[in-house]
Structure 1
Amino acid sequence: MAKKESCLLILVKMLILVSILIAAVVAAFFYLREQLNGYFNRGDTIEVPDFRGKHLLQVYKDKPGDLVIDKPEEKFDIRYPKDFVIAQYPDPGTRVKANKKIQLTISLGSKLVNVPDLCRRNLRESSLALLNAQLVEGNRAYIHSQKIERDKVITQSPLPSMPQGMQGKVDMLISLGTKPVKVPLPNLSGKTLNDAQTSITAWGLKPGKVISRRDSTRAMQIVISTFPAPFEPVAEGTTVDLLVSAGNEPGNAKPGEVDRFEFTVGASPEPASDNPKVKEGKPPTEAVGDTGPSAPRIFIADDSGTAPKTPEESGVPGNPVSPVSPATHESTQISFVMPDGFMPKEVKFFQVSSQGRTQVYSGTHKPLDMIKVPVPTIPNSKVQIYINDVPIEERPVE
């Protein structure tokens, strides 16, 4: 028992002596280091600046005059542009003697790779090509193209085979395919529902929702209007909704459901002048011997209630002009000159407003005739002008 206690005591003493010895060695090391540093670095010392992330030109401007810049290493690094400092030794803040060399690691920028050719490739193929070339996709822009299929690349920036830094961006211009052709939607008003739906299908359009409302002036299943409106440009595959008459029945139209339809109001039952009146009674006559075209004639649609003139009396061949019922409130005059040509043509004026779509004038005129039509002044309304049922012009009513 006594032997065991003696051995344990000896072991403890040895551990204490070893610990004291180690502490003495460490203390001696730091003491000697301080003494040697003071001996060898006698005189002024310089604090090393932080050169990391700076361009070489800036480094040479900022460095103290007693330090020497050394560039032992250069390497590619996508984080730093070319000629920027990546790392340094000694570290910033270290105090060194004069003429000490500061070793810098300089960036060569991103490693250059060749841009792949993405033209006529789809988006998936383009993404894989960029990934394999260590590049990334940049901005996308889309336009219609007659030559390149939809969702394929038309062109790119940078162009194929041009050098680009690793992980650089490549912008792409992508095709939306052929631009859809739009044509005016024919007027289906007055047709039966079956005929209208058959025509819509034959034109490459889609019959849409059928809405009916009470209209005692039309037979049942007669088309009143369409959405899109008549003569509005539509593309192939457009859905056309129909508003039809329910006769004296209430119909299935819900409140506000017919607001999107434009309505064409026919001529008033009251007698009205069938011909526009020539300004000041007579059209201007041509000068004798004048070989040029006749001067434009000015017509004013009015509601004088006079008996309609014959085509010969009005000076306009063909059917007489048939203006619609007059406006009941303040009006604005719309002037329009017939385009040049050879044959008389039918002209129609439609006013579109929150109250619907109203035909305000209809007549047949020769080329270069000037037509002046009084139009009711309705806020936020517009006038659509048609020649032979083809939309020509649209003007706001001011």
Structure 2
Amino acid sequence: MKLFRFIKSKTLWANVLLIIVACALIFWGVNSWLSSYTRHGDNIVVPNLSRMDYDEAVTALEQRELVAEIMDTSEFDPEFPRGSIINQYPEDGATVKKGRPIRLTINPLKARKIEIPQLIEKTKRRAIYDLESKGFKVGELTYVPYIGKDVVVDIKVNGQSVKEKEKFEKGTTIELVLGQGLGNELSPMPYLRHLALEEAKQLLLEASLNLGSVIYDEEIKDSSLIVVYNQRPAPSLEPSVRPGAEVDIWLTDDYTKIPNDSLQFLHPEIADSLNNAAAPTP
């Protein structure tokens, strides 16, 4: 009987009501605090800041109520303008809250200078490796009378001779003067068709030849697909070009313009066997 009287008492139900109200108030308070803390509903898309200078990047972020924070400066990258943004975190397109710091990596205003390695009397292959591993680019190859074939005789920057151990910015183009050996030897002309521009440059460099004119097709639709479709001098399996000669190339993304002659130059033994098989028997 006492239990029933307790259940029916006003004191019990008043306490229950107070507990429910207190729980509701606590839930509302916590939810309001979380919404305020996380700024729910204030999502902002991070803009693409690549290649902007620092002031432009700061302005673009402030317009979106975001904060710029310099993370660090990296090794100089010649592909980006000096002092421009080369990396950001979070990346562009990410969704963040208002006031979020965006960390920026900035390209230095000045490239770090690097010593030219010891190249004189080294072979062309070793000199190219040493230069590229240091961050230099290899430019024109010039051949002069010298007993050592493909041996470095001189080093130039912008046509002017320079000394080993001199310092230049990373990415500087270094020209090599090489010995042509005892005789006026000729070399086969490499087959460049189907190659991308950088691949053609590398193959010419390995063959001791220089890239001449680069002519682009007028109707290129996708620059990521361009390849060599013509070259001058023409490819040859027989020795026909002197070291240091210039080679002009034509580029296109229309593969129907490329002559169907790769088998003849890249796999001549297969082409010969096919020709022999097709020849009529006497």
User: TM class, shorter-chain normalised?
Assistant: 0.3 to 0.5
Q: TM-score, normalised by structure 2?
A: 0.38
Return the structure number with greater strand share: 1
Identify, as 1 or 2, the structure richer in helix: 2
